[in-house]
Chain A
């Protein structure tokens, strides 16, 4: 890791050939870089077309240069961008010139983001959103990441934290000014406000984890006995022949994953080897991979061949492995089903082409669960959820206590609640409490 004061640079576009490529430079010496390429640094906030040459005077490229002066730049430092033609020789030559300039070095992974954060350009949520924006694979992920960036969680969290601080401040006034006339309504309003907060935050938590699901995606594993039609189903959902289908038992040996976009949620659907006893070493390994993939998945789709006598026993054994979150597909209804399928079964036949659309709808509903929360706040990471849960724990613990007799303990619990909220974006300070006290009460001598 180099020094934090160096000027750093990196190719901001993927390596290889492209119409244009962008090289980004950030730091005190960024504005000197154009000079080193026999060009002029543009005025702050301006683009200019320039010819770039190397030390011998040989032309490297004609490129657009952009200069953003600190602190009004993405990183908060001086930033120069070189928008050159996206040829391998051009970018390599330019990077070669830069690396030889003293005080400049290639950026470490994530270093531009680091600098943005350190210079206060983004807070923690902003940094998270930026990562999500860049990593978005589906439109829905992108929409979600942008709304996060623009305050979907920051705004309500800031509001809640202010409310907790105000509530705590009223309590502090009760404690620190016992001879003052704190209106009795204040004590009542303290519990009232805490209750309202609990309701609002609980409501936000009651979101079926939709934000996290959209961000993290969903893992689904197909599981079933050999020849049940798992690979057939996979190919159908993926809409292309991904896995080999044959009537030979034990066709699929390895895990066959496909990435899908189901209603904006990125889904990784994995086909697996059919489960059976007494197999060779390779197939046994495939089966063990299948079982562990099912263990890791968010959902398991159990596919059985309904025309076979053993399908029920197979299903029960597999359901035990798959656990609670599974979907049962009883396939090959065209061949007739042995016995009565259970109520949760989805019946299907690829020969008659029936039950498939119903299955797809069912799967989409399952994956893209409705957000039952009334608020538009979104939780996109486990740490947000943990912090909000800790907030509620603190508020509830405070409400259980007697406000008149133990205000100091209630205040302590509320303090924890506020700290938990503060962790989502920043930190909490006792001065905040006092500020709120004095602005809302008349405190005499």
Chain B
């Protein structure tokens, strides 16, 4: 039996990849070590946050699983930055770990076209220089038109707990050794990264009554546009802090940490430091906050967010009990660090296909990212592109930096690599005011429909919403009133005599759609769910217009493709370093070349000039200035 797309790994990347390829109509095999672990959250049981929440909304806009899954498994929904502008709202929810896994498994089995195969993959099946399937460790060949590898932290994974070293993909699961060896032999740029997880606590031994508690939002705001309301019961989290004693314990035993003893060489994420890192690097801070997050509704396990550690067991015991509220708390599973192989994502194009083996796609932690959302988003892109090549077409599903956070992430990865585990932040997106969590569907769903990765239910819901938005926008643009009239309704408008449209009014501080209903009762017809979206569009209109100018410039560059086989030694005026950089990274476009670290504007210009074969003509570029100057200097 042969498949169109074979997905290796049933984590977050693998689940989305398999589902997306199947939505595209491909016959998919999802091959993973344990079918029961599909959708497992390896670390903290939470989805979303700043930047990550944006990714989930984008996955949802393309009809992916993650948004729907967390809506059915979330036990504490919170909108981060709620008091701030809508562009930086970060939807986040804690998950019931077991529930999340089972929802993902249910969604996957509802999806037509996926076969589930329990096996460890040990090799790629390469025919005539093209990857056309996989070989299991048991020796079975499974053929397919394209393969997506999403093996997470499993490639040659090595767990560190104090001085103990255990080969593992995550706690209690075997690593993927044979495949790691095979990938190294393929001459791919393989590197090593590390990450860590905190100990899990027995919630029955925590003095909750002594702790400050943080409630969920009421009402909870769903991730998916297909969810009308959250039906999972909502819980509270506890908040506590490390003490002087905690810090003393850590300082005294830091030499026992595998990172500090030199046992781990892989680079860890700076923004997700272990508690020993925090105490060591920020010695002036005498206390760190931690959140105590229950892992499920019927699960006593508690995830202490903020004290990731790989110190020896005894030190972990002492460390935990030095924290207020945890004095008699028992550890159910010790924290640990894990080191694993990743493939330098600069070996990929923005389709997530390997340059070297175009029918082999990589997604998730294997590309040097960290986090479920980052993994899932890549899985979706890789799944779509794999289905395109398997069907004999071209993999050309590429999102730009101005389209989506997904585009920002993949562009960052493929141009800059992952010198440390890559996590999404809103500050990575230069068009943040445009790429909002609230408008992900407007940015992406139509695109997904055209591709064929959006199902009928979402198409209907989106078309309905879209026409309502269109009508509301027309209405807002047409209605207008003078300051005098508006002030008679107590609206804070400047007394400048200028009549303003309802849309213009919404860009002013303190004016909302519901307040405008006092002036124009007709606006009451606009459904409440659309309010925030419309208000945000108006609020940012002038900024977005300014950014459009940049985006157009970017697109012009973006459209300037660098031929795949361009010999950079023929490009004049390139320093040896720039030439090496370009030759090893092979950027697809001028814009990508521009973002390569170590690339000088001069070198980019040289490539641009080479491609155009004419002296630079556009005004205000430094090239133009240099030409003028050179003229002056003669």
Contacts and interface: CB of A to CB of B under 8 A. Distances in A.
A134 interface: yes
B85 A131 contact: no
Interface residues of B, number: 69
Contacts of B302: none
Given A113-B630, A131-B632, A409-B543, A442 B609 contact: no
Nearest to A422: B601
Nearest to A429: B595
B227 interface: no
Given A71-B575, A175-B84, A181-B289, A408 B51 contact: no
Contacts of A408: 84-85, 87-88, 426, 432-433
B90 interface: yes
A119 interface: yes
Interface in B578-611: 578, 594-595, 597, 600-603, 605-606, 609-610
Interface in B467-510: none
B630 A114 contact: yes
A442 B278 contact: yes
Interface stretch (A195-203, A289-297, A430-438): A430-438
B305 A71 contact: no
Contacts of A6: 572
Give the residue among A4, A433, A438 with the most B Cβ atoms within 10 A.
A4
Interface of B: 44, 50-51, 80-81, 83-85, 87-88, 90, 198, 270-273, 278, 281-282, 285, 288-291, 305-306, 308, 416, 425-430, 432-433, 543, 569-576, 578, 594-595, 597, 600-603, 605-606, 609-610, 614-615, 622, 625-627, 629-634
Interface in A73-117: 76, 109-111, 113-115, 117
A176 B622 contact: no
Interface in A393-445: 404-409, 411-412, 415, 426-427, 429-431, 433-434, 437-438, 442-445
Contacts of A124: 622, 625-626
B305 A445 contact: yes
Contacts of B601: 426-427
A120 interface: yes
B622 A4 contact: no
B83 A404 contact: yes
A193 interface: no
Given A444-B278, A444-B289, A406 B85 contact: yes
Contact of A5 (B285, B308, B570, B605): B570
Nearest to A133: B633
A135 B628 CA distance: 13
A408 B83 CA distance: 12
Nearest to B306: A444
A109 B629 CA distance: 10
Nearest to B83: A405
B80 A179 contact: yes
A445 B606 contact: no
B78 to A, nearest CB: 9
Closest 8 pairs between A and B when the two form their complex, measured CB to CB? A4-B572, A110-B630, A118-B573, A442-B282, A172-B427, A131-B633, A113-B630, A5-B572
Contacts of A128: 625, 629
A120 B198 CA distance: 47
A404 B84 CA distance: 7
Contact of A407 (B88, B278, B615): B88
Interface of A: 1, 3-6, 70-71, 76, 109-111, 113-115, 117-120, 124, 127-128, 130-131, 134-135, 172, 175-181, 383, 404-409, 411-412, 415, 426-427, 429-431, 433-434, 437-438, 442-445
Given A4-B609, A433-B427, A120 B600 contact: yes
Nearest to B275: A444
Nearest to B90: A178
A12 B626 CA distance: 19
B30 to A, nearest CB: 30
Contacts of B594: 427
A117 B604 CA distance: 12
Nearest to B305: A445
Contacts of A433: 427
Given A4-B609, A179-B80, A445-B273, A118 B603 contact: yes
A179 to B, nearest CB: 7
Give the residue among B83, B425, B573, B575 with the most A Cβ atoms within 10 A.
B573
Given A110-B629, A113-B630, A442-B281, A412 B291 contact: no
A321 to B, nearest CB: 32
Give the residue among A119, A178, A383, A406 with the most B Cβ atoms within 10 A.
A178
A176 B50 contact: yes
Given A114-B626, A176-B50, A4 B426 contact: no
